[in-house]
């Protein structure tokens, strides 16, 4: 879909979207449109007793003045609208237009809620619409008849300024779409090498992409990651993506993603029901790739590293066994008691590698790590674990602002003790109780004093509740959250 910004001259045909504050009459461009229709819009609103309540809309057909259709959306109290509310509204507008099979439409966006300028409003409507209009249908042999909403023109008093505000938001939306695509891809198509190849597209944007092979990982001593990979004929990869948009020599921010392109559980095999969803076990890696795209596209003034560990976890004659002991790059030995607790094995080596090589300012890892996080938090919040209160607080705020919400969970020595092992230094599962916490404690053993956050996104990366701006099974969760963190505090 193409989003265009235009000045205050409204079209005289087609579909027009207007906004109405609750209990108020039409103002600005909406009032002008009404007068061009000889008051027909206001009469329709009155006849329908439409008050402008939030999340309500009224569809008015052939109102006169040449227009085919006017859709009026309620704003509620404009003073209460946040940036996220306006994006959601943009998403709702696009969703409604799609369900009406509109190919193109115009929006009168000359609204300035408290704390937001008219330009912000117009740009955020565009952002919400861009996030909403997403489809993943390349495997349908019959393409849907209509190509959907192809063009949205957003009118406000300063088109150029609105366009300038929109561009970085568009960059982020494109990063979200990239992440969604990766999560939605079937696992026979998107395996580690193919995932790594797709990240090469980022080089066009100025991201340096470096890909490590199993031979290189072996030389580095990454026995934890390679142990997971050895049951699959598909080779593992680690991808390091670097965006150097900040000052030369500034320590980079590091984002690390779990990329298990399919998780059968390995020898500790999962039950058949729902196993197909394990194509999404690379949601953390997808988010990191999407974030790197967003940062590069909007030319963020920051140095950032994205590092993803890509493996497939399969049962096989070569697969690792429950009871195996592997040696991680850190030198710590790990007893693999359950081969389905593989994500932490992958992350252990990638975390260690990133911290040794890049000396980052902080590390944030994202992983569809535990089913237990769904028991604790459902699909509304990701679990956040951290050794750094400031970073945790900043992410909480970013979660509220973007709607990608996080909830802090505890770390403590008492939980850490649970994963001690009698033969090896540590075991890869602490049992059923506090399963998400013991997983985080495991990761922490591979982080030195560096500020670090682990986000358990098993509930939010895939099949999460749909919203006006998140319509897809693969949600692309985390791109907007982390982009906000970077933009607010590190540029
Ligand atoms: Mn698993
Ligand atoms: Zn997994």
Do residues 468 and 370 make contact, with C-beta atoms less than 8 angstroms apart? no
Q: Which residues of 33-65 are buried (b: 16+ CB within 10 A; e: fewer)?
A: bbebbeebbbebbeeeebebeeeebbebeebeb
Token pair for residue 135?
């489809």
- Predicted pLDDT of residue 367: 99
Rounded to the nearest angstrom, the gap between the alpha carbon of residue 118 and the centroid of all alpha carbons in its chain is: 27
Ligand approaching nearest to the C-alpha of 262? 2
Taking the C-alpha atoms of residue 368 and residue 111, their distance in angstroms, rounded to an integer, is: 40
Output the CA angle 262-220-308, nearest 5 degrees: 35
> Distance between terminal CA atoms of the chain?
30
φ/ψ of residue 285, rounded to 5: -65, -40
Print pLDDT tens along the chain (491 aa).
Answer: 999 999 999 999 999 999 999 999 999 999 999 999 999 999 999 999 999 999 999 999 999 999 999 999 999 999 999 999 999 999 999 999 999 999 999 999 999 998 899 999 999 999 999 999 999 999 999 877 666 899 999 999 999 999 999 999 999 999 999 999 999 999 999 999 999 999 999 999 999 999 999 999 999 999 999 999 999 999 999 999 999 999 999 999 999 999 999 999 999 999 999 999 999 999 999 999 999 999 999 999 999 999 999 999 999 999 999 999 999 999 999 999 999 999 999 999 999 999 999 999 999 999 999 999 999 999 999 999 999 999 999 999 999 999 999 999 999 999 999 999 999 999 999 999 999 999 999 999 999 999 999 999 999 999 999 999 999 999 999 999 999 999 999 99
Tokens of 12: 């005289």
The rounded Å distance from CA 279 to ligand 1 centre is: 11
Separation of CA 466 and ligand 1 centre (Å)? 25
pLDDT of residue 95: 97
pLDDT (0 to 100) of residue 380? 96
- Closest residue by Cα to residue 59 from 85, 29, 81, 92: 92
* Calpha distance 318→210 (Å, rounded): 28
Ligand 2 centroid, distance to 343 Cα (angstroms): 5
| 417 included as an active-site residue | no
State the Cα–Cα distance between residues 165 and 125, nearest whole angstrom.
Answer: 11
Selecting among 4, 35, 270, 408, the annotated active-site residue is 270
Task: Respond yes or no: is residue 270 known to be catalytic.
Answer: yes
pLDDT at 71: 98
Out of 132, 237, 344, 480, which one is annotated catalytic? Answer: 344
State the ligand closest to the CA atom of 367: 2
What is residue 222's three-state secondary structure?
coil
Spatial separation of the C-alpha atoms in residues 372 and 374, rounded to whole Å: 5
Token pair of 137, please? Answer: 């249908």
Distance CA 368, CA 209 (A): 23
CA of 420 to the centre of ligand 1 (A): 20
Instruction: State in Å: Cα 118 to ligand 1 middle.
Output: 47
């Amino acid at each position: 879909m193409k989003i265009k910004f235009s000045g205050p001259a409204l079209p005289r045909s087609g579909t027009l979207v207007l906004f109405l504050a609750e209990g108020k009459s039409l103002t600005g461009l909406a009032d002008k449109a009404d007068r061009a229709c000889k008051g027909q819009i206001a009469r329709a609103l009155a006849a329908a007793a439409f008050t402008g309540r939030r999340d309500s809309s009224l569809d008015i057909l052939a109102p006169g003045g040449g227009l085919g259709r006017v859709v009026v959306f309620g704003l509620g109290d404009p003073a209460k609208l946040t940036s996220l509310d306006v994006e959601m509204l943009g998403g709702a507008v696009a969703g409604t237009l799609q369900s009406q099979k509109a190919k193109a439409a115009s929006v009168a966006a000359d609204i300035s809620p408290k704390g937001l300028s008219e330009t912000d409003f117009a740009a955020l409507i565009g952002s919400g619409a861009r996030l909403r209009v997403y489809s993943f249908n390349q495997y349908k042999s019959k393409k849907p008849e209509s190509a959907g909403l192809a063009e949205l023109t957003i009118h406000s008093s300063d088109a150029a300024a609105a366009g300038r505000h929109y561009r970085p938001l568009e960059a982020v939306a494109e990063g979200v779409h990239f992440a969604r695509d990766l999560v939605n891809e079937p696992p026979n198509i998107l395996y580690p090498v193919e995932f790594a190849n797709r990240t090469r597209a980022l080089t066009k944007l100025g991201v340096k992409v470096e890909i490590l092979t199993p031979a290189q990982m072996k030389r580095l001593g990454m026995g934890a990651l390679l142990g997971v990979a050895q049951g699959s004929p598909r080779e593992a990869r680690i991808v390091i993506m670097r965006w150097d948009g900040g000052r030369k020599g500034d320590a980079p921010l590091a984002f690390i993603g779990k990329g298990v392109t399919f998780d059968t559980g390995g020898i500790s095999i999962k039950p058949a029901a729902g196993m197909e969803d394990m194509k999404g076990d690379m949601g953390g890696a997808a988010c990191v790739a999407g974030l790197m795209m967003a940062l590069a596209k909007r030319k963020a003034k920051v140095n950032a590293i994205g590092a993803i560990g890509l493996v497939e976890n399969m049962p096989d004659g070569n697969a690792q066994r429950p009871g195996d002991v592997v040696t991680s790059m850190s030198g710590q030995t790990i007893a693999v008691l359950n081969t389905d607790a593989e994500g932490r094995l992958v992350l252990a080596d990638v975390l260690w590698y990133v911290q040794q090589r890049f000396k980052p300012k902080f590390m944030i890892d994202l992983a569809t790590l535990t089913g237990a996080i769904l028991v604790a938090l459902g699909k509304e919040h990701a679990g956040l674990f951290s050794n750094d209160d400031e970073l945790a607080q900043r992410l909480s705020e970013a979660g509220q602002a973007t709607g990608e919400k996080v909830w802090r969970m505890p770390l403590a020595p008492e939980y850490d003790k649970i994963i001690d092992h009698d033969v090896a230094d540590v075991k890869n599962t602490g049992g059923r109780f506090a399963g998400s916490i013991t997983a985080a404690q495991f990761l922490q053993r591979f982080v030195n004093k560096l500020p670090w956050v682990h986000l358990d996104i098993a509930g939010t990366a895939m099949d999460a509740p749909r919203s006006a701006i998140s319509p897809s099974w693969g949600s692309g969760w985390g791109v907007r959250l982390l982009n906000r963190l970077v933009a607010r505090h590190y540029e």
